[in-house]
Structure 1
């Protein structure tokens, strides 16, 4: 009878262990964006690079050095790495539940009781092994493992996102710095010109060829240019502080690195971009994390279903003991083995409610994924629209600067010849400087928009091999 029961139990285990609860699966129509093509034309530049080597295509050694420095020691990346290690440890810990647990015990005691004759000391000791194994009848452990593996994948994606985000922050700070430096050169030349005009007018006033009003006008104009120059220096200082915080270098190291490059804006370089929104969107880190959140929520639904089903565990004990009373010694061993079957019968609807809550969380995760997809499509479309509009504004502003420069040169020549008033000269100067400032701002915006598009399409940081393998595996 015992052998028959054992065979029946093994047969039952073989049949039931192949059963597993079904997990909810979203339909493909629920995941893909509805748009089959971008509504805004893709941007075009004289040079297109692949995203993996996009930063190198800027051909700016100073920027590349700063980017690599920020990737080496950054608290954001270290935090993401620690989360990966935690998620990996949890995933490995779950796999252990698929195997039996074995423990060893050892005990010893010495006692003396005068109430029992003869009153002699009693020595007792035992050693033993105990083992237990909860059978994964319905795939609950494997479902929990899927949940934690999805969590591990999400944390790894977040680490990759952190790398791209840090690169974008460094690039934006660097672009801002170079824009302020280039603008500072323009303002410094303008300030020098205004100071020279002020000095000449003061000399003319001394001999009666200029009025105090003209001197006051040029003095106010010089002060205005000085204020603009101070503003550019403030912007340079703030951009440098941002680079110090991002790279972890000292201010002296950052300054030394920046001095190796020319104070000019990098030339905008585009990158190849797929025309199919579904392909582009699924590259984004936040979309991939949202997809893993859906997988985690689906696994939680499976776990809640398994909690309502019977569970079977095996338990076994082997014990060796010895007891000594005076000259009498008793040795022996004991063992036991048997299954334990647990069946949830009444829990006041708690398990059903937990399943309903898990299903609701799954629906929330799926809705959050769909919302992120829509937002991602909108973000890419808006960035493409801004790039296109900004490029047109740059072309128009180039014509504006060229025209105001001609007017300024002519007004300056006429003023020196005495055929134009000082007011005419200052008006043309203000028009030219305003156009140059707008042109520089638009060029900076163009680079910033390319960086924003890099982030919007899920731009990848180049794989460096050793570190990537150490984190991902």
Structure 2
């Protein structure tokens, strides 16, 4: 039996790929420029308006705040606006656009030049040259493939992806900001319609009462119990109240047109939007969870957008600094070149070259250095913008809470005033009928009642509006739709009919982006970014 030969390791000659491998590894080891850290935000430890009327400092999530008003029509209008509003759809398309721009940035990590070339050329050479080719006239058939790959040695392209990642999340935050504003505008216009309807109803009710007073005054004047001054005063008050009715009707029509635009439909009559019967002014909830000022960094979309734009600009500094350093590339070409077509595919027609390339813009006359300075200045400006956004967000909340507290107190006082005025009108009406008081007293009492009832209706509407403003200032409204598609099926179908979008319009892709945008830590955002570093075909 022959002994089994000992297996020895086979020595292989180093290939070109193995020679370039250290370059590829080195290209992922360093990134010039600052590593972004969110700047400290000037946050108050607590709200000044704690324990304000109807406001609680709880950190519970806001959720669908419009449902707390207990008005199903308002909830339906909110749902319609979410599905149909053109401005919201446009903001959603900008998110898709940011995804595509991110795909462009990811593509820079891979070979930047990949050109397939080919051609045919007929050449007739001049005889009046020093070296005359053997054949003055000849053909040339050429086909090949050129590759150029600039290595991301200094992290320029990875900083570009970092920047577009942040810009994508900024686009999501901008979508949320548009959504928050849209929901608040829909609620405000609906409350405005209900308030105007209430004021209109109060005016019509007072017209009926004043017509009765006018009839009583006219009858007493005919009997000679009073002069013609009394019915003249009654007519003046009646016509003044009747003059308010067209104003309220015009307000309702105007608000209905605005609400129609928010719903993404042509102007409609108010009955087609909110129903035939006038409804009550929505009653604001007894409380709302304010949380702490620090919660605004996550909850307010405009704060999140400002912070993400800051991160995007930080990466631009690294991109600019990378231009100060040498650029290393791998270049190569594979060609078939022959003068006769029948020899085109022969082995002797094959030619190739490849190797590293080096370039360094040394004499740039300050252009690159000053570009770094420009990017740094823009970053610092955005730091100041971010600080201002955080401060303004806190001021918005404090102002909204103070306005709501004042509206609550005003409404409570006006309710008592209206109740007292109604008793006075009933009392002086009886006394006038008995001849105990003159008609001037009746007119003054009715005028005051009309004024107070109108003020009460407006104040009840203002109380509801200030609660909407509180919710808006807290950034509430985007959470219930978190993880849903940012564009409607109709919009996606229109875009797909013109262009092949791949997975960018897929619902699962949009959900992944929304979840990343709502993540609270930079670590999680980074995991999401590296997870999706792949070409988007």
TM-score normalised over the length of structure 1: 0.91
Distance 1:244 1:117, change over 3 A: closer
Please report how far the alpha carbon of residue 325 of structure 1 lies from its aligned counterpart in structure 2 after TM superposition. Answer: 9.7
Please report how far the alpha carbon of residue 31 of structure 1 lies from its aligned counterpart in structure 2 after TM superposition. Answer: 2.0
Is 1:345 paired with 2:362? yes
Q: Distance in 1 between matches of 2:334 and 2:153?
A: 26
Distance 1:329 1:269, change over 3 A: closer
SS of residue in 2 equivalent to 1:103: strand
Q: Distance in 1 between matches of 2:391 and 2:344?
A: 84
Match of 1:311 in 2: 327
Q: Distance in 2 between matches of 1:162 and 1:87?
A: 16
Is 1:415 paired with 2:415? no
Match of 2:191 in 1: 175
Distance 1:189 1:241, change over 3 A: same
Check conservation: 1:122, 1:325, Cα contact below 8 A. no
Note the alpha carbon deviations across 1:240-263, whole angstroms, 9 max, x for none.
Answer: 111121113344475234225542
Please report how far the alpha carbon of residue 37 of structure 1 lies from its aligned counterpart in structure 2 after TM superposition. Answer: 0.6
Q: Distance in 1 between matches of 2:341 and 2:190?
A: 86
Over 6 Å off, 4+ runs? 2-8, 46-49, 112-121, 325-330
Which residues of 2 match residues 258-297 of structure 1 at below 5 A?
Answer: 258-259=274-275, 262-270=278-286, 272-297=288-313
Q: Distance in 1 between matches of 2:187 and 2:356?
A: 63
Match of 1:39 in 2: 48
Distance 1:251 1:405, change over 3 A: same
Q: Distance in 2 between matches of 1:294 and 1:215?
A: 71
Please report how far the alpha carbon of residue 398 of structure 1 lies from its aligned counterpart in structure 2 after TM superposition. Answer: 1.6
Q: Which moved more, 1:460-469 or 1:300-309?
A: 460-469
Match of 2:255 in 1: 239
Distance 1:303 1:243, change over 3 A: same
Check conservation: 2:256, 2:268, Cα contact below 8 A. no
Q: Distance in 1 between matches of 2:462 and 2:344?
A: 95
Check conservation: 2:257, 2:267, Cα contact below 8 A. yes
Is 1:205 paired with 2:230? no
Q: Distance in 2 between matches of 1:328 and 1:75?
A: 58
Match of 1:439 in 2: 456
Is 1:405 paired with 2:416? no
Match of 1:102 in 2: 114
Q: Distance in 1 between matches of 2:510 and 2:292?
A: 31
Q: Which moved more, 1:272-281 or 1:282-291?
A: 272-281
Which structure 1 residue ranges, 5 or more long, are not aligned?
none
Which structure 2 residue ranges, 5 or more long, are not aligned?
1-12, 487-506, 514-537
Q: Which moved more, 1:7-16 or 1:413-422?
A: 7-16
Q: Distance in 2 between matches of 1:403 and 1:419?
A: 20
Q: Distance in 2 between matches of 1:25 and 1:248?
A: 40
Match of 1:467 in 2: 485
Q: 2:444 aligns with which of 417, 424, 427?
A: 427
Q: Distance in 1 between matches of 2:74 and 2:438?
A: 47
Q: Which moved more, 1:365-374 or 1:347-356?
A: 347-356
Please report how far the alpha carbon of residue 70 of structure 1 lies from its aligned counterpart in structure 2 after TM superposition. Answer: 1.5
Check conservation: 1:32, 1:278, Cα contact below 8 A. no
Note the alpha carbon deviations across 1:76-127, whole angstroms, 9 max, x for none.
Answer: 1122122212211111011111111422112123456797999997443121
Check conservation: 2:38, 2:311, Cα contact below 8 A. no
Please report how far the alpha carbon of residue 272 of structure 1 lies from its aligned counterpart in structure 2 after TM superposition. Answer: 3.6
Q: Distance in 2 between matches of 1:186 and 1:6?
A: 86
Q: 1:145 aligns with which of 134, 143, 161?
A: 161
Match of 1:69 in 2: 80
Check conservation: 2:257, 2:268, Cα contact below 8 A. no
Note the alpha carbon deviations across 1:132-186, whole angstroms, 9 max, x for none.
Answer: 1110001110101111111111111111111121111111000000011011111
Q: Distance in 2 between matches of 1:183 and 1:104?
A: 75
Check conservation: 1:147, 1:297, Cα contact below 8 A. yes
Q: Distance in 1 between matches of 2:316 and 2:400?
A: 37
Is 1:448 paired with 2:457? no
Q: Distance in 2 between matches of 1:216 and 1:325?
A: 112
Q: CA RMSD in A?
A: 3.0
Q: Distance in 1 between matches of 2:278 and 2:98?
A: 45
Note the alpha carbon deviations across 1:222-252, whole angstroms, 9 max, x for none.
Answer: 1110112222112111111111211133444
Match of 1:374 in 2: 391
Check conservation: 1:281, 1:377, Cα contact below 8 A. no
Which residues of 2 match residues 325-340 of structure 1 at below 5 A?
Answer: 332-340=349-357
TM-score normalised over the length of structure 2: 0.80
Note the alpha carbon deviations across 1:384-407, whole angstroms, 9 max, x for none.
Answer: 112122211222222111111111
Check conservation: 2:36, 2:315, Cα contact below 8 A. no
Check conservation: 2:147, 2:332, Cα contact below 8 A. yes
Check conservation: 2:296, 2:393, Cα contact below 8 A. no
Q: Distance in 2 between matches of 1:328 and 1:399?
A: 101
Distance 1:45 1:39, change over 3 A: closer
Please report how far the alpha carbon of residue 471 of structure 1 lies from its aligned counterpart in structure 2 after TM superposition. Answer: 4.3
